[in-house]
Amino acid sequence: MSFAIYCIVGLGAAAAGFVQGLSGFAFGLVAMSFWAWVIDPKLAAVLAVAGALTGQVVAALTVRRGFDPGRLAPFVLGGLVGIPLGVLLLPRLDTDWFKAILGALLVVWCPAMLLAKDLPRVTAGGRVADAVVGLGGGLLGGLGGFAGTLPTLWCTLRGYERDTQRAVIQNFNLAMLTVTMAVYLASGLVTAAALPMLAMVLPAMLIPTVLGTRVYLGISQAAFRRLVLGLLTVSGVALLASTLPRIL
């Protein structure tokens, strides 16, 4: 691969690392907005999961507020069911259509939540609903490191305060990404050809991730909500921009 491609991959990793450190999620969404233009989707999925997992380990060691195992457990149990389904679908899926649909949902739903004066607070469903959302997150995680997207939206609708939401998403992502990477390794998706790119991605995102966690500690609840929904919206636009030209 050319030097320019390695630069784009490194830049995407740095941007994604900062955003993940700040928000607790979205490494895959941000990185894919750079990588979808220059590298194979399956290689991008491996890099996204590896980078996101590394970032979550760094963030978990840096920000440890609001951890509640009882609240987290349904999400993780559902996600563990969803991951194998996502990994099985990955080689068979039209990745352009998948990213276009996900991007369209983010572009429509997140601005509506961002502009609403009073978000509806969902209290129904209890742990069963949390587990179903976790299953969806695990499925998206297996498809390319998007595990935190659905649980993040769900926690926002649940009305969790900032530290509680981050603790759920951060630890859910950490669990899902660990399992996803293990499945990728066992299934042979991580090939020797991916190693030079991994050697670029992992160092490039470490310092930005730490910087992002430092910024998170100083922002308010309202600012965190706007940040999360704004990032999801921008990620949706980027996904659409990278896939619609090929679909059309």
User: 3, 239, 241, 229: which is closest to 144 by C-alpha?
Assistant: 239
User: 114, 219, 92, 204: which is closest to 166 by C-alpha?
Assistant: 219
Sign of the torsion angle spanned by Cα atoms 104, 158, 65, 148: negative
pLDDT of residue 23: 80
**CB of 14 closer than 8 Å to CB of 204:** yes
**CB of 22 closer than 8 Å to CB of 212:** yes
Residues 216-241: what's their mean pLDDT? 82
pLDDT in tens, 74-133: 999 999 998 888 878 877 777 778 778 888 888 887 887 777 666 667 888 889 999 999
Tokens 């659905």 — which residue? 150
- Give the pair of three-digit tokens for residue 97: 């259509």
Binned at pLDDT 50, 70 and 90, residue 230 comes out as confident
User: 10, 46, 67, 19: which is closest to 194 by C-alpha?
Assistant: 46
Instruction: With H, G, I as helix, E, B as strand and everything else as coil, classify residue 220.
Output: coil
Alpha carbon separation from 51 to 118, 127, 133, 139 (Å, rounded): 35, 30, 23, 18
Q: Which string of DSSP letters, residue by residue, matches 139-155?
A: HHHHTTS-TTHHHHHHH
pLDDT in tens, 14-56: 999 998 888 877 788 788 778 877 888 788 888 988 998 898 8
- Give the pair of three-digit tokens for residue 45: 């999925």
- Is the pLDDT at 136 greater than 80? The verdict is yes
Angstrom distance (rounded) from CA 36 to CA 90: 15
Q: Within its chain, how far is the Cα of 39 from the centroid?
A: 19
Residues 188-212: what's their mean pLDDT? 89
Angstrom distance (rounded) from CA 3 to CA 228: 33
Q: For the CA atoms of 32, 79, 149, 61, what is the dihedral angle to 10 degrees?
A: -80
Residues 221-230: what's their mean pLDDT? 82
Give me the half-sphere count of Cα atoms (radius 13 Å) on the Cβ side of residue 27: 42
| Mean pLDDT for the chain overall | 83
